[in-house]
Amino acid sequence: MTFGMSPFAQAVVSALLLVAVLTLYLLRFARSKGWLMVVAGVCVLDQYVKLFLLPHFHGHSVRLLFGTINIVYLQNRDQGFGGSFSYLLVVTLACVLAMMFLYDRLTKTRYRMSRLAEYGFALMIGGYMGILLDRITQGFVVDFLEFGKRSAFVYNLADLAVIFAVALLLIRGVRYLTEPRDWRKDIADGTGGR
């Protein structure tokens, strides 16, 4: 279901929705505002590399670390990971609705994020903002990091920030689920099982 939107419009709206809900979580559940520096740092670094360093690589590839990493220039007009996904907006809306339901539950328990979760959310927002800026200003996303020879995917710093963020959040989720705790005490004292 595309809601009559082009793949480009779906990608933009999806990124905006995700940035909004992740920012809402940080504003409500983060312990400090240090995450703002992470968001700005990821976005600025991603855009700086694309605007000021990559133009020197137009038309050629540079191999680093014996060809393990290749710097190339690619204009990615797809929604992500080299393809278009006709249900991107539907999946995004489902995720946002689930997060809003969870937001309500976490608010009732006076939950506070761990630093790991804060940095994971901040990296994700910074990455989505870098990708979003490319789409809005250029109509495509600039990718330039290829790992290995003839990789199926080419990445940029924003992509890597999002991937790293997902890894951090998975680690935090596993740690959260495996920490011994008295659930009744967490609910009673309002910590929400930080």
pLDDT in tens, 46-59: 999 988 877 776 66
What is the CB-side half-sphere exposure of residue 82 using CA atoms within 13 A?
6
In total, the chain counts a number of residues equal to: 194
Single out the catalytic residue among 78, 104, 134, 159: 159
Instruction: With a cut of 80, say whether residue 64 has pLDDT above it.
Output: no
Q: Please, which pLDDT band fits residue 34 given cuts at 50, 70 and 90? A: very high
Average pLDDT, the chain: 84
User: 155 in the Ramachandran plot: left (φ > 0), alpha (ψ -120 to 50) or beta?
Assistant: beta
Q: Which two tokens stand for residue 95?
A: 């995720």
Average pLDDT (82-97) is 78
Catalytic status, residue 182: no
Instruction: With a cut of 80, say whether residue 117 has pLDDT above it.
Output: yes
Catalytic status, residue 104: no
Model confidence pLDDT, tens digit, residues 119-162: 999 999 999 999 999 999 988 898 888 887 776 788 899 999 99
Q: In this predicted model, which residue has the larger pLDDT, 3 or 143? A: 143
- CA-nearest of 14, 179, 11, 151 to 69 is 151
- What burial letters (b/e) apply to 91-117, b meaning 16+ CB within 10 Å? ebbeebeebeeebeebeeeebbbeeeb
Beta bridge partners of 143: 74
Instruction: With a cut of 80, say whether residue 61 has pLDDT above it.
Output: no
- State the pTM of this model: 0.83
Instruction: With a cut of 90, say whether residue 22 has pLDDT above it.
Output: yes
% the chain with pLDDT above 70: 84
